[in-house]
């Protein structure tokens, strides 16, 4: 051939690099063009390779298949230099693409004439060898020293702190965008660069890079520690590539967010926060999963720098931020030690961390002396942050800062005075008494959730903030298990609370229990307090936030001269950064946090701290009192906290009559409107254009007495009920498991359950179709991320109803399987549907994010091994990774495996189906997370098939409040897939 083939390749490389902005940076800071292996693979075909091998009418004895498999980069570089004939030399030398970049002449050719060819190749190879960052270990650099000429594919690079100085600071943080051809992740990452070349900086890099490399071998470790994407050094500058945190630090989170007001938000916050203990558990023993014996060693670690500034808010931020996961960062002061299994533990090397406020008593020092350090120090430091989080969860950032100020004042009276540890949680030997005082006050002020706050306080004070290291919890896993027990306790105890035992929401003055704790040295003279009948009321104009709202009729619009109390009007502006850093500075009106319209559009969502000197007044409820219960209520399953006075929604009747035929039930609104009395969990108002499928019960009006319904559908369509209809008609009185004394009483009660096949006869035809000739395995996969907690009541209801239908229809005689996404390798075989409800209710929905792809993949492996027809129901809201640009979120792989098994085994098309059941907030249909989850699930239903090798449509998506026929048969019947009409009899039989 042909110089034309070579010139065509030259043109392709130039055009591709220009059109795709393939320009990176080498170690000298020079911007250089590059082209990736995927771009080369996309260009070369066997025909093009053979055209080059026939270079200048002389055949180059190369095998195009071997070149395309092992030498595509080598071959491209040679063609670029118009030396394709040298490919045979590289094949003989065994230099494949995996050995690039080539750093030296092969030893066999070091003295041979061919050495010149290799040296020329090493000079020109860099354009084709950019640094790449793959998904799996071994495909990204780990503590690798790279050549100064190698190109790092940085497309964008921005210094996060413009004031950072590369010549002075130990590390500098950059927000970086890597080229999509060279990195599997499409989001921004962080480059943590160590630019200095001194010994201390090198040690920090080695500590952190080594810690991250060890964590990479532990499953799920990066759910609670910032994710690691690689590390490398170039010309003395060390770089660690990490996950980019959109939500800033925990310190900024405390500063800019109000505390959670609802029970669900509190649980979400504490689940995410205490999830950090799993990160500490991974650090505590890197080899925990190994098979140990008396001769093996364990690798144990310590963080040694646990501070709010070193905890990041990562992942998909919710509207309120309480669902975003927290992750540890900055492992530069960490240390890993080697300990013989079963032997005596050794102290860690002191990295001079865990200082200032969060340091434990045993690391007390005000100089640079080296002391003994253990993992117990990390437990104390985390406990200190947890203590501040507890105070923040009640009083917000203002309360947290007051808490710090009080500790600072107390430590100045101890041997810590004048040193670096003022504001610590101890006096040098013991826990400060002020810590316990503030915790007690927080419990008293947690009206409606005192038990919850008390149990959290006990975790902190009994397991973490314990003065003697040997008396603290020895393992982070022990503390996390205690948190899991608390959640189980709260669920099991909810039925013991009644409306009569709950506090009230009032507009009369705040009782003493709600005030912030006072300093013991503070004095409040009665004469300082405003009083008198002429004082204007602030109830209407005081910005308020929180589970309990009080406004003092005695609070003035402006503080009286000399008055130490806090007050502010709505017009007062406040910037948190303007607060004086002096912890001893007295509180002023400007210290009241103002969170800003960037996060909260309404001033009613701001935090109002009542004046310190408001005296305790009458506890008699005012006329505006609103009471609400903790436990199973009409409003939902989760504990209900006192409502705002201006947010009193009418309740739905406890037992609304559902015995009606082809007419609206009592209180139902016409089609197109929503009933004010409708329960949020029961979904939006149903479409009354279809008839209500129901038997006439004694006492019901007969059909002859009803006016004709002009919107009634033709009886050529089956009228199948939705979950709520079956629940109300057939499971009367079947509520939360916790509403009964024990499971036996629940099972006894359910013996009165009416048979849905009698109440709704068309269900028989439906279940026969689902069952088929020989039965069909039924698998439930539940998304157990924290974002599903608000749907817990409806989730239990849907699973219970569907499970019961499948049971009485004998669809799966062996019993169906239940999986949770966080532990899909462990299944529960369910024979009784009440057990299904119990399993879901007792499960902890604490995972920050649902890994739906791996979970579904685990289930598919078992399905293929069992080789029996199956329906997989995935109960989820689709909030898997809201910022992942891949809409399939890993689902494509397992679905592709199923279609391959169906096609390869010559099975019926619907042999295996995946039915997604979508949950969403029915009160806020514009919720962006729900909208994105909806689009993602619709994509899986409508567009995923086109991406599969075997294009079989086995996926369907339905909302949780649609009819059960569409849910059970949607994925099985092609005519029903994405069809919202009712089921024709021909499709159900």
**Can you give the CATH number for the domain in which 966 is found?**
3.40.50.410
Is 648 within a domain? no
**For residues 428 and 361, is the Cβ–Cβ distance under 8 A?**
yes
Mean local confidence (pLDDT), 470-482:
88
Beta strands 297-302 and 335-340 are antiparallel
Give Cα separations from 633 to 101, 168, 305 (angstroms). Answer: 66, 60, 45
Counting residues of the chain whose pLDDT is more than 70, the rounded percentage is 64
> pLDDT tens across 885-940, in order?
677 788 988 999 999 999 888 888 889 999 999 999 998 888 888 998 998 999 89
Q: Are residues 830 and 854 in the same domain?
A: yes
Domain check: are 567 and 427 in the same one? no
- Pair 556, 407 in one domain: no
- pLDDT at 399 > cutoff 50: yes
CA dihedral 901, 905, 911, 916 (to 10 degrees): 10
As a whole number of angstroms, the distance between CA 537 and CA 139 comes to 67
Q: Are 827 and 777 in contact (CB under 8 A)?
A: no
Asked if 587 and 469 sit in the same domain, the reply is: no
From CA 316, how far away is CA 187, in angstroms rounded? 12
Q: Which of 6-10, 362-366, 410-414, 705-709 has the highest mean pLDDT?
A: 6-10
Distance CA 800, CA 736 (A): 11
Q: Between residues 321 and 831, which one has the greater pLDDT?
A: 321
Q: Is 712 domain-assigned?
A: no
Q: Are residues 471 and 574 in the same domain?
A: no
Please provide the average confidence, as pLDDT, over all residues in the chain: 73
Residue at 638 is within a domain = no
Please tell me the distance from the alpha carbon of residue 382 to that of residue 280, in angstroms, as a whole number: 9
333 & 432 share domain: yes
Residue 827 inside a domain? The answer is yes
Could you give the 3-state DSSP secondary structure of residue 20?
coil
Residue 678 lies in a domain: no
How do 172-178 and 189-194 pair as beta strands? antiparallel
Query: Given 617, 639, 671, which residue is the final one in a domain?
Result: 617
Buried b (16+ CB within 10 A) or exposed e, 419-435: bebbbbbbbeeebbebb
pLDDT greater than 70 at residue 881: yes
State how far the Cα of 379 lies from the Cα of 385, in Å rounded to an integer: 10
Mean pLDDT of 470-487: 87
Q: Which two tokens stand for residue 4?
A: 């034309």
pLDDT in tens, 139-189: 789 999 999 999 999 999 999 888 888 888 889 999 999 999 999 877 899
Provide the pLDDT for residue 59. Answer: 74
For residue 500, is it within any domain? Answer: no
Per the structure, the complete domain to which residue 180 belongs is given by 169-243
The kind and range of the H/E element at 122 are helix 115-124
* CATH number of the CATH domain containing 235: 3.30.200.20
| Residues 352 and 478 occupy one common structural domain | yes
Residue 562: pLDDT over 60 = no
How many other C-beta atoms lie within 10 A of the C-beta of residue 717? 16
Tell me which residue of 328, 99, 125, 131 sits closest to 232, measured CA to CA.
Answer: 131
- Total residue length of the chain: 989
Element (DSSP H or E) covering residue 205: helix 199-215
Instruction: Determine the pLDDT at residue 101.
Output: 95
The CA distance from 823 to 312, in Å, is: 25
Mean pLDDT of 856-885: 88
Residue 173 vs residues 210, 610, 684: alpha-carbon distances, Å: 19, 41, 48
Under DSSP, is residue 749 helix (H, G, I), strand (E, B) or coil? helix
CATH assignment at residue 321: 1.10.510.10
Asked whether residue 512 is assigned to any structural domain, the reply reads no
Extract the tokens encoding 32. 């250089």
pLDDT greater than 80 at residue 842: no
Same domain, 300 and 380: yes
Check residues 944 and 578 and name the one with the higher pLDDT.
944
State if pTM tops 0.85. Answer: no
Residue 23 sits in the same domain as residue 53: yes
Residues 401 and 490 in one domain: yes
276 in the same domain as 205: no
Cβ(921)–Cβ(929) below 8 Å: no
Last residue of a domain, one of 128, 152, 180: 128
Report the C-alpha gap between 212 and 301 in whole angstroms. 11
Inside any domain, residue 624: no
Tell me the per-residue pLDDT of 808-821, one tens digit each, with 9 for 90 and over. Answer: 888 887 778 899 88
Average pLDDT over residues 597-620: 31
Nearest residue to 783 via CA among 852, 715, 842: 852
* Among 494, 529, 556, residue at a domain's last position: 494
Q: What percent of the chain has pLDDT over 90?
A: 32
Q: pLDDT tens-digit profile of 636-688? A: 223 333 333 333 333 333 333 333 233 333 333 333 333 333 333 334 333 33
pLDDT of residue 594: 30
Distance CA 958, CA 980 (A): 9
pLDDT of residue 601: 29
Tokens of 609: 């701290």
Location of structure tokens 């793959």: 134
Q: Are residues 112 and 219 in the same domain?
A: no
Comparing CA positions, the residue from 482, 486, 476 lying closest to residue 379 is 476
The strand ranges marked E within 500-628 are 504-505, 626-627
Does residue 804 contact residue 756 with C-beta atoms inside 8 Å? yes
| pLDDT bracket for residue 802 (50, 70, 90) | very high
State how many domains the chain has. 5
CA–CA separation, 599 and 320 (whole Å) = 8
* Residue 461 in this model has a pLDDT that exceeds 90: yes
- CA-to-CA distance for 307 and 320, rounded, in angstroms? 23
Report the pLDDT averaged over residues 824-844.
70
Average pLDDT over residues 27-55: 93
Q: How many Cβ atoms sit within 10 Å of the Cβ of residue 933?
A: 22
Which of residues 711 and 129 earns the better pLDDT score? 129
pLDDT at 468 over 60: yes
């Amino acid at each position: 051939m042909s110089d034309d083939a070579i010139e065509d390749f030259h043109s392709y490389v130039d055009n591709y690099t220009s059109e795709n902005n393939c320009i990176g940076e080498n170690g000298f800071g020079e911007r250089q063009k590059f082209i990736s292996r995927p771009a080369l693979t996309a260009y070369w075909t066997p025909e093009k390779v053979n055209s080059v091998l026939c270079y200048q009418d002389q055949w180059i004895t190369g095998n195009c298949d071997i070149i395309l498999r092992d030498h595509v980069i080598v071959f491209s570089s040679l063609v670029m230099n118009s030396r394709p004939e040298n490919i045979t030399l590289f094949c003989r030398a065994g230099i494949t693409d995996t050995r690039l970049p080539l750093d030296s002449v092969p030893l066999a050719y070091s003295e041979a004439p061919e050495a010149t060819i290799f040296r020329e190749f090493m000079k020109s190879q860099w354009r084709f060898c950019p640094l790449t960052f793959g998904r799996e270990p071994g495909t990204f650099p780990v503590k690798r020293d790279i050549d100064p000429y190698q190109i790092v594919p940085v497309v964008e690079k921005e210094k996060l702190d413009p004031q950072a100085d590369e010549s002075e600071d130990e590390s500098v943080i950059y927000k970086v965008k890597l080229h999509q051809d060279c990195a599997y992740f499409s989001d921004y990452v962080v480059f943590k660069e160590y630019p200095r070349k001194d010994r201390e900086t090198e040690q920090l890099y080695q500590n952190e890079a080594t810690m991250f490399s060890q964590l990479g071998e532990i499953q799920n470790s990066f759910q609670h520690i910032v994710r690691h994407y690689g590390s490398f050094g170039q010309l003395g500058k060390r770089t660690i590539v990490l996950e980019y945190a959109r939500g800033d630090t925990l310190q900024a989170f405390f500063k800019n967010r109000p505390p959670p007001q609802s029970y669900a938000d509190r649980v979400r916050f504490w689940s995410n926060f205490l999830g950090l203990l799993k990160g500490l558990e991974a650090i505590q023993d890197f080899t925990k999963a190994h098979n140990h014996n008396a001769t093996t060693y364990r690798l144990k670690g310590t963080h040694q720098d646990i501070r709010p500034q070193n905890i990041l808010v990562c992942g998909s931020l919710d509207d309120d931020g309480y669902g975003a996961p927290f992750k540890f960062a900055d492992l530069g002061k960490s240390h890993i030690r080697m300990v013989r299994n079963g032997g005596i533990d050794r102290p860690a090397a002191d990295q001079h961390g865990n200082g200032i406020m969060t340091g434990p008593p045993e690391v007390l020092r005000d100089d640079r002396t080296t002391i003994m350090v253990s993992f117990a120090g990390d437990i104390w430091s985390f406990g200190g942050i947890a203590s501040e989080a507890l105070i923040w969860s009640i009083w917000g950032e203002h309360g947290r800062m007051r808490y710090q100020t009080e500790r600072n004042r107390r430590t100045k009276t101890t041997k810590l005075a004048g040193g670096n540890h003022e504001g610590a949680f101890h006096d040098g030997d013991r826990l400060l008494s002020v810590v316990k005082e503030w915790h007690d006050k927080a419990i008293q002020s947690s009206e409606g959730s005192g038990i919850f706050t008390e149990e959290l306080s006990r975790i902190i004070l009994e397991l973490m903030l314990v003065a003697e290291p040997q008396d603290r919890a020895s393992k982070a896993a022990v503390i996390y298990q205690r948190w899991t027990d608390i959640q189980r306790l709260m669920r099991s105890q909810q039925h013991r609370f009644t409306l009569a035992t709950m506090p009230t929401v009032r507009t009369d003055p705040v009782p003493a229990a709600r005030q912030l704790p006072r300093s013991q040295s503070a004095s409040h003279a009665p004469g300082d307090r405003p009083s008198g009948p002429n004082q204007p009321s602030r109830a209407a104009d005081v910005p308020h936030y929180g589970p309990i709202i009080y406004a003092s009729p005695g609070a003035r619009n402006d503080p009286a001269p000399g008055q130490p109390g806090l007050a502010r009007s709505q017009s007062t502006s406040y910037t948190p950064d303007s607060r004086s850093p002096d912890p001893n500075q007295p509180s002023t009106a400007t210290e009241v946090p103002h969170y800003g319209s960037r996060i909260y559009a309404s001033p009613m969502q701001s935090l109002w701290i009542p004046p310190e000197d408001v005296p305790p007044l009458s506890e008699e409820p005012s006329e505006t009192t609103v009471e609400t219960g903790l436990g199973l209520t009409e409003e939902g399953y989760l504990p209900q906290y006192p409502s705002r006075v201006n947010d009193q929604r009418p309740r739905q009747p406890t037992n609304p009559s559902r015995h009606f035929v082809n007419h609206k039930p009592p209180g139902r609104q016409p089609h197109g409107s929503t009933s004010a009395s409708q329960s949020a969990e029961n979904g939006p108002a149903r479409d009354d254009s279809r008839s209500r499928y129901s038997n006439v019960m004694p006492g019901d009006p007969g059909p002859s007495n009803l006016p004709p319904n002009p919107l009634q559908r033709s009886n050529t369509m089956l009228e199948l009920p939705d979950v709520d209809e079956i629940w109300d008609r057939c499971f009367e009185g079947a509520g939360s498991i916790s509403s009964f004394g024990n499971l036996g009483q629940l099972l006894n009660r359910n013996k009165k359950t009416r048979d849905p096949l009698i109440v709704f006869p068309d269900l028989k035809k439906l279940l026969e179709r689902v069952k088929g000739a020989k039965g069909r395995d039924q698998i439930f996969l539940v998304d157990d991320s924290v974002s599903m907690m608000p749907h817990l009541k409806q989730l239990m209801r849907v699973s219970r109803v569907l499970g019961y239908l499948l049971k009485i229809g004998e669809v799966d005689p062996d019993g169906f399987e239940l999986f949770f996404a966080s532990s899909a390798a462990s299944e529960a075989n369910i024979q009784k549907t009440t057990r299904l409800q119990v399993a879901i209710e007792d499960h902890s929905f604490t995972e920050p994010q649902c890994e739906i792809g791996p979970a579904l993949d685990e289930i598919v492996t078992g399905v293929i091994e069992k080789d029996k027809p199956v329906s997989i129901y995935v109960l989820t809201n689709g909030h898997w990774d809201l910022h992942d640009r891949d809409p399939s979120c890993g689902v494509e792989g397992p679905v592709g495996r199923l279609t391959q098994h169906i096609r390869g085994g010559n099975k019926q098309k619907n042999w295996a189906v995946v039915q997604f059941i979508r949950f969403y907030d029915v009160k806020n249909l514009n919720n962006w997370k729900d909208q994105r989850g909806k689009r993602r699930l619709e994509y899986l239903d409508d567009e995923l098939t086109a991406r599969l090798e075997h294009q079989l449509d086995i996926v369907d998506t339905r909302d949780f409040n649609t009819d059960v026929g569409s849910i059970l048969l949607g994925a099985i019947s092609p005519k029903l897939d994405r069809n919202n009409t009712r089921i024709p009899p021909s499709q159900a039989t």
